[in-house]
């Protein structure tokens, strides 16, 4: 399997109330093309900081990030923008990526508006019409054309997250970063969204980084898992090895927390 993302020795500290907080410390991992890597850890373990660094929303103190062979941290301006189209994100709170004042179809195709030269293969038949492209994207995530003109406040949390996923896949990204995509949802809806992400990943051959504090959710979608604690990776293994005897003590605690 070719590597799509390669992260080497990434570190990031913040100053908080005059003292140094190490959010990410010497973190290295890679993700193969078409693979889903799960990143799990409790609140404060550094997961979001890592995601923000990958999305170029935060600069690390040191380290290297390579996407499809291109070093990301040296990029600026239009070169960075060009690479960013290949890396999309689904956040915990879908309202963060959906404009409250626009009908949902406009939010869903906004990335395509920003990159008009991009037409992923699953949208070639509808490229003549932005609205038809939005309808196709909504259909892919299980929302009928009835939703095109709805506003976010007229949709349920699960429907909004489906729309946010439609937006996330709209450019046919190489890498989809999902940062706690089910944490704001009712338990009954969480499983449906996990299933949708799995289906989308398989259908589009997409590579995923799936971030969550919920190790059961992470295991259900990921091929491999890395576990973060206090900014460091403390365990890494294939998903099927989650219950193996040589798991780190901390990983076991996360498993026990789910079954309690
Ligand atoms: N902008 C910031 N300024 C100061 N400290 C920060 C900042 N962002 C994160 N931190 C600190 O870095 C550490 C890691 O935070 P981070 O949000 O990455 O963890 P997390 O695992 O994503 O947790 P959560 O799931 O609660 O968001 C925490 O101690 C946090 O307080």
Give every CB contact of residue 81 below 8 A, 6+ residues apart in sequence. Answer: none
CB 191 within 8 A of CB 215: no
Specify the residue with its C-alpha closest to ligand 1, atom 5: 14
Any domain includes 189: no
Give yes or no for residue 90 having a pLDDT over 90. Answer: yes
Last residue of a domain, one of 173, 199, 225: 173
109 with 128, same domain: the answer is yes
One domain for residues 103 and 169 = yes
C-alpha span between 106 and 169 (Å, rounded):
14
Domain boundary, last residue among 155, 173, 191: 173
Domain end, chosen from 130, 147, 173, is at: 173
CB 54 within 8 A of CB 209: yes
**Protein residue closest via CA to atom 13 of ligand 1:** 23
Considering the domain architecture, whether residues 69 and 115 belong to the same structural domain is answered as no
- Nearest CA to 41 out of 221, 179, 244 is that of 179
Residues 69 and 147 grouped into a single domain: no
Residue 48: CB within 6 Å of ligand 1?
yes
User: Is 213 found in the same domain as 133?
Assistant: no
Separation in Å, CA 187 to CA 8, 192, 199: 35, 9, 19
pLDDT at residue 260 in the model: 66
Within-domain flag for 195: no
3 & 54 share domain: yes
CA dist list (Å): 133 to 4, 90, 240: 27, 19, 38
Residues 122 and 156 in one domain: yes
Residue 150 included in any domain = yes
Report if residue 191 sits inside a domain. no
Do 18 and 68 lie in a common domain? yes
Task: Tell me if 70 is assigned to some domain.
Answer: yes
Task: Record the pTM.
Answer: 0.94
Among 13, 23, 211, 233, which residue has the most ligand 1 atoms within 8 Å of its CB, making it the best to mutate? Answer: 23
Count of Cβ atoms closer than 10 Å to residue 58 Cβ: 16
Answer whether 169's CB lies under 8 Å from 206's CB.
yes
| Cα 257 to ligand 1 centroid, rounded to whole Å | 21
Query: Does residue 241 sit within a domain?
Result: yes
Give yes or no: residues 38 and 109 share one domain. no
Average pLDDT over residues 119-141: 95
Among 179, 167, 249, 141, residue whose Cα is nearest residue 38: 179
CATH of the domain at 221: 3.40.50.300
* Total domains in the fold of the chain: 2
Q: How far apart are CA 92 and CA 133, in angstroms?
A: 25
51/108 same-domain check? no
> What tens digit of pLDDT does each residue of 13-65 get?
999 999 999 999 999 999 999 999 999 999 999 999 999 999 999 999 999 99
| C-beta of 211 in contact with ligand 1 (< 6 A) | no
**125 CA distance to ligand 1 centroid (A)?**
43
**111 and 164 housed in the same domain:** yes
Q: What angle do CA 251, 257, 259 make, to 5 degrees?
A: 110
Q: Is 11 helix (H, G, I), strand (E, B) or coil?
A: strand
Q: What is the position in ligand 1's atom list of the atom closest to the CA of 179? A: 22
Please check whether residue 126 lies inside any domain of the structure.
yes
Neighbours of 225 (CB within 10 A): 22
**For residue 42, is it within any domain?**
yes
Same domain, 106 and 80: no
**Each residue of 237-247: pLDDT tens digit?**
999 999 998 89
Q: Quickly state the pLDDT bin for 95 (edges 50, 70, 90).
A: confident
Q: Which domain holds residue 158?
A: 93-173
* Alpha helices in the chain, H assignment, sequence order: 47-54, 77-84, 104-114, 130-140, 157-169, 187-204, 215-221, 249-259
pLDDT at 131: 96
Three-state SS at 181:
coil
Distance in angstroms (rounded) separating the CA atoms of residues 241 and 251: 11
Token pair of 225, please? 């898992």
């Amino acid at each position: 399997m070719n590597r799509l993302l390669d992260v080497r020795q990434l570190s990031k500290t913040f100053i908080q109330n005059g003292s140094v907080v190490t959010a990410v410390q010497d973190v290295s991992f890679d993700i193969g093309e078409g693979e889903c890597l799960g990143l799990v850890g409790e609140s404060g373990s550094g997961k979001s900081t890592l995601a923000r660094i990958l999305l170029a929303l935060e600069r690390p103190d040191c380290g290297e990030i390579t996407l499809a062979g291109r070093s990301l941290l040296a990029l600026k301006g239009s070169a960075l923008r060009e690479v960013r189209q290949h890396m999309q994100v689904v956040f915990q709170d879908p309202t963060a990526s959906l404009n409250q004042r626009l009908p949902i179809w406009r939010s869903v195709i906004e990335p395509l508006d920003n990159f008009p030269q991009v037409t992923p293969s699953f949208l070639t038949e509808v490229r003549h019409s932005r609205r038809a492209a939005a309808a196709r994207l909504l259909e892919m995530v299980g929302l009928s054309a009835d939703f095109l003109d709805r506003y976010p406040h007229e949709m349920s949390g699960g429907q909004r997250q489906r729309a946010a996923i439609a937006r996330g896949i709209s450019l046919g990204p190489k890498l989809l970063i999902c940062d706690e995509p089910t944490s704001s949802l009712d338990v009954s809806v969480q499983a449906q969204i996990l299933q949708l992400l799995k289906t989308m990943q398989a259908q589009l051959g997409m590579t995923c980084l799936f971030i969550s504090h919920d190790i059961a959710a992470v295991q259900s979608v990921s091929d491999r898992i890395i576990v973060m604690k206090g900014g460091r990776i403390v365990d890494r293994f294939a998903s099927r090895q989650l219950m193996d005897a040589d798991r780190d003590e901390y990983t076991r605690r996360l498993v026990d927390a789910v079954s309690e």
